[in-house]
Amino acid sequence: MADYDSLTPGEVLADASVAEFIKELGLGIAQAQTALDENSVKQMEAFTRARRDLGDRSLLELGLMPAFYHYQHADVSVSLQLRLEVGKRDEFGFGINASFDSSGESSRSASSSASETSSGSRSETRQASLSVRATASGAVQVDGTAMTPTGEDPQARLRSLRDLLTAGDDIDTAVIERPTQALDISTTAPEARVVVTPRSVAFLRPAQANGLIAIHENSATDYVLNGGTTLVTTAQADLGAYAEHVQEVADAAGGFTTNLTSPRANDQPSFHVLFDTGRAEFQNDDMRRHLLELTQVCIATGTRLRVEGMTDRVGSDASNLALGRTRGQFVRDFLVENGMLPQNVELVESRGEGRARDAGSPDGAEDQNWRATWIFTLDRSAYWLSLRSNGAASLEGVAPDHRGSPGTQNGFVFLWLPQSMGLAGHTVTIDGQSFPLSGAAGGGNQSGSAEAHAHNLTTAINATETLRASRLGHVVQVSRAQDEFQLRLFSRTSREITLAGSEGVTVTEQFTRTSAEQAESRESRNSAMAVGVTVDKRESRQFNMAVTGNSQISARLVSVPPPELFVEAIRALQAGRRS
């Protein structure tokens, strides 16, 4: 029998087979109908045989039809009464006994603590969220104290607000998340100088000459850097030793800063982007320029990348997970903003402090090596030696020159030379608004530089009513005026914190409330207590089901009137017998 305690009425009827009963009743009627039809068929011989007493005519010739031409009809009437009783009884017994012994002179202490949030669950880290409109000029109040950010663009004000909120002891981490809405952005400038995405404009102009030598073979090779510098190398014990030898010769020649990276397995990082504690933007301009150069190298060589953001073990698991994700997203966005195809940059889901923990870093340990985003170069087999001019040195007439067809031989696969931006007369159009490009000196940037172009475009965009822009070196990040940034706050303090915002700053989630209590008392008495507890639980259920009902079947056979010829023949037959 099913457990009727949780069944619906329809499920109870199904279990009682009521539908099956009605089905069987209908089948019985159909079987009776079939028997009548079979009986009619058996009468065919009698209807078709000629009879002498009918003038050698058959019943069929006289117009009499077999019974299966009759209309047969059956009515079925069914009524049911279903009664279900469920009895359930639970018994619970509890017993306790205790004995108490006191020595008469002792001390006693007791303490209790409780911590709870508004959701009823214990949590070491509490979270709150702020929504900050791109045009926001308001402040955030923390327990009534106003914190007013400063800055010329939306992200500068957000970073200022983050620093203000985390300066005290209550809020540990604040993570900034950019809007994701796409804009309609285009430019008339050459793609090699200006790169646009649905949320950014990047000006590409290196300050110094850059080049990359791919080292595939351990063989003597002469590398021509320019008319006055040639690197003469010889084969070494193995490929790794040879690559280091090439770097040593380049360093000895002078004029260039070199960096050698070995080929790595796909699960081993080739490059690192480092961050300050609690931050998810570049530490300095040098790191930005290095990542820009890596972007251009990967574009030129068709190299695919994978990025993964992470943190050290300062902060909570929750805040580190959010911070690690933001660091990975920051680097991926930068690569795409500078020309990498999105499908060539894979973003790995961050584990927060997971890698640091797996490596044995203790909880709470501060470690710059884990405050990073790792960059993996996928399926690379060659050593890369990058050359960056210190200022005067040039890269002209390089050899061996394998640009455009890297192959598997030693030589240059990438060259990026300083050149005039030459953007006079070109424009950038954003959501239908056109902005002339200008390289005039501004914001402390040299005239004609990529940074000067970015500064001027940012200023022009922020002068409109519908658009806003922030500058990251040579990159202009664009949003609409009504777009909203998110600021996620994390705190491990148990103190109640109240947030309020104004003029474009909205508190979308408050910190959950937390309370803690502790009590302690002391006496000069020692006590011992023994406690015994018994628990007895019994459960029983009883089911009783009764089905009563009645059914009625009525059937009728209806015959059509006999034809006139048949009636006359029967009357004549009867008259002959009487005579």
List per-block mean pLDDT (blocks of 10 residues) for the chain, which spans 579 residues.
57 61 66 67 70 73 61 55 56 50 42 38 73 95 94 95 94 95 97 96 93 97 96 98 98 96 93 95 90 95 96 95 97 97 97 96 95 96 96 93 90 93 96 97 94 97 97 97 96 91 95 50 44 52 54 53 64 64
- Residues in contact with 416: Cβ distance below 8 Å, sequence separation at least 6, in sequence order: 206, 209, 210, 211, 293, 296
Let me know whether 200 and 133 are in one domain.
Answer: no
CB 223 within 8 A of CB 233: yes
Task: Give which of 458, 487, 460, 484 is closest to 473, Cα–Cα.
Answer: 458
Beta bridge partners of 57: 51
| pLDDT number for residue 104 | 45
- Please report the pLDDT score of residue 273 as a whole number: 96
Tokens linked to 365: 């340990």
How many helices (H) and strands (E) the chain has is answered by 10, 26
The verdict on residue 519 lying in a domain is no
Q: Residue 217: which domain range?
A: 186-416
Residues 77, 154 within the same domain: no
- Calculate the alpha carbon distances from 438 to 340, 467, 470 in Å: 25, 18, 17
Instruction: Please calculate the CA angle 385-390-395 and round it to the nearest 5 degrees.
Output: 60
Q: What is the pLDDT of residue 435?
A: 98
**Residues whose CB is less than 8 angstroms from the CB of residue 545 and which lie 6 or more positions away in sequence, other chains included:** 4, 16, 82, 83, 84, 85
- Is 573 domain-assigned? yes
Residue 117 in any domain: the answer is no
- Give me the amino acid identity at 69: Y
Q: What is the end-to-end Cα distance of the chain in Å, rounded? A: 77
- Is the residue at 283 inside a domain? yes
313 in the same domain as 201: yes
Strands, E assignment, 103-160? 126-133, 140-142, 145-147
Tell whether 340 and 232 lie within a shared domain. yes
What phi, psi does 153 have (nearest 5°)? -140, 170
Q: Are residues 437 and 564 in the same domain?
A: no
What's the rounded Cα separation, in Å, for the pair 326 and 98? 58
Q: Phi and psi (nearest 5°) for 526?
A: -100, 135
Q: For position 549, what pLDDT does the model report?
A: 55
Among the listed residues 218, 130, 136, 178, the one whose alpha carbon sits nearest the alpha carbon of residue 482: 136
Query: Would you state the pLDDT for residue 14?
Result: 62
- Specify if 106 maps to a domain: no
pLDDT, residue 95, reads 53
| 290-304 confidence digits (pLDDT tens) | 999 999 999 999 999
Query: Is 59 a domain residue?
Result: yes
Three-state DSSP class for residue 491: strand
In a domain, 135, yes or no: yes
Q: How many CB atoms lie within 10 A of CB 141?
A: 17
pLDDT for res 486: 97
- Cβ density class 162-181: b for 16+ within 10 Å, e for less: bebbbeeebbbbbbbbbbee
Q: Are residues 317 and 210 in the same domain?
A: yes
CATH assignment at residue 404: 3.30.1330.60
Total structural domains within the chain: 4
| Burial class of residue 425, CB neighbours in 10 A (0-12, 13-18, 19+) | exposed
Which pLDDT score is estimated for 56?
Answer: 76
Do 359 and 276 share a structural domain? yes
| Selection from 272, 339, 283 nearest residue 307 by Cα | 272
CA angle 142, 145, 149 (to 5 degrees): 80
Position 515 in a domain: no
pLDDT at 512: 79
For residue 15, the number of C-alpha atoms closer than 13 Å in the C-beta half-sphere is 16
Spatial separation of the C-alpha atoms in residues 541 and 543, rounded to whole Å: 7
Asked which of 416, 437, 454 is the last residue of a domain, the reply is: 416
| Whether residues 412 and 468 fall in one domain | no
DSSP strands (E only) in 462-526: 467-472, 475-480, 484-491, 499-501, 505-509
Reported as a single tens digit per residue, the pLDDT across 125-161 is 899 999 999 999 999 999 999 999 999 999 999 999 9
Whether 282 and 241 share a structural domain = yes
Cα 563 to Cα 237, 567, 575, distances in angstroms:
120, 7, 19
Instruction: Decide: residue 325, CB within 10 A, 0-12 exposed, 13-18 middle, 19+ buried.
Output: buried
Which alpha helices (H) appear in 104-197, and where do they start and end?
154-165
**CA neighbours closer than 13 Å in the CB half-sphere of residue 575:** 6
Does 173 lie in the same domain as 28?
A: no
* Same domain membership, residue 434 and residue 354: no
CB 219 within 8 A of CB 388: no
Residue 325 tokens read as 């994700």
Domain boundary among 365, 384, 416: 416
| Those residues with Cβ within 8 angstroms of residue 167's Cβ, 6 or more apart along the chain or in another chain | none
Asked if 203 and 81 sit in the same domain, the reply is no
Give the DSSP per-residue string, 230-257.
Answer: EEE----SSHHHHHHHHHHHHHHH-SEE
Q: Considering just the CA atoms, what is the radius of gyration of the chain in Å?
A: 45
CA distances (Å), origin 523, targets 98, 105, 108, 253: 21, 9, 5, 83
Smallest CA-to-CA distance from 309 within 264, 375, 377, 362 is with: 375
